[in-house]
Structure 1
Amino acid sequence: MILDKIENQHLYTGLGTKFLKAFEFLNTTNLKEIASGEYPIDGDQLFAIVMEYETTAKSENSFEGHQKYIDLQYVVTGTEQVGVVSRINQTPFEVHKEDDYDLYHSNQAAFFTLDKGMFMIFFPDDLHMPSVYDDQPSTVKKVVIKIAV
């Protein structure tokens, strides 16, 4: 897992050309005006999903994990808490192989604040629970870029 501010994106150029293209999308797209939906960047190897939602209580969420894609999650507006725990010794309660996500419960997670202008990168070992509020619900606009492993 990586947690950082967008102005530090240059630190991650060594992760490869897919990450360079992902950051290029974030830098060249009017993210405040773009509508919710899916946007191709490089076929099924790299695409963006733009979403807006209200954060919810931790008890209303589950951890998710992916096998085929790395998630780069960037907050355009709003604030949320995001839980992270390793996939090691975790068992999914739902498996959605065709849609590349499994759902998990865990009491072992660390939670981080993700504010406007920040991003997190989740690798296949990183189970994550986004969309959680701390004190009260918040409206969040986020771009999730799916990067093929």
Structure 2
Amino acid sequence: MITDVIQNAHLYEGLNERFKRAFRYLHETDFSAIELGKHSIEGDDIFAIVNEFETKDKHECDGEAHKKHIDIQYLVKGTEMFGYAPLTTQKPVVDYDEANDVAIYREAVSYLKLEAGMFIIFYPTDLHQPEVREFEPVLVRKVVVKIKI
């Protein structure tokens, strides 16, 4: 897991050959005007999901992990808490769904706060719990760039 502000994205472009293209998309796209939903960057190898939602109580949010994709989650608007734990021996409560590339967990995690203009990168070794509110629910606009491994 890595988190930083979008202005520092260049520091992470060398970690994966596709990160540079993903971060270029995040820098060049006007997310206040783009439609919600899936947007292709490089076919199925790199795509973005633009989403809007109200944050929820942590007990209403499941943890998740992926096997085929790295997530770069970028906050366009709002504040979101993310639960995080290294994925080691935890057992999913919903087994891995290959079609959707996700397994669901309900494990203890630590929380960190992201604000608009920040991003967080989750690898397949990272259990993460998105959409958690800090205090009261807030409206969040977020872009999740999925990078195929």
1:15-34 deviation per Cα after TM superposition (whole angstroms, max 9, x unaligned) = 13310010111111111111
Which residue of structure 2 lines up, in the alignment, with residue 106 of structure 1? 107
Q: TM-score, normalised by structure 2?
A: 0.97
What residue identity is the alignment partner of 1:121? I
Root-mean-square deviation (CA, aligned residues, Å) is 0.8
Following superposition, which runs of at least 4 residues in structure 1 exceed 4 angstroms of deviation? Answer: none
Q: How many residues align?
A: 148
1:47-94 deviation per Cα after TM superposition (whole angstroms, max 9, x unaligned) = 000000000000101100000000000000000100001110110111
Distance 1:64 1:13 in 2: 24
2:18 counterpart SS class: helix
1:99-138 equivalent positions in 2, closer than 5 A: 99-107=100-108, 109-138=109-138
1:88-125 deviation per Cα after TM superposition (whole angstroms, max 9, x unaligned) = 01101112121100000112x11010100000000001
What residue identity is the alignment partner of 1:111? Y
Q: TM-score, normalised by structure 1?
A: 0.97
What residue identity is the alignment partner of 1:135? F
Gaps of 5+ in 1: none
1:1-149 equivalent positions in 2, closer than 5 A: 1-95=1-95, 96-107=97-108, 109-149=109-149
Distance 1:89 1:17 in 2: 29
Distance 2:148 2:114 in 1: 23
Distance 2:118 2:59 in 1: 24
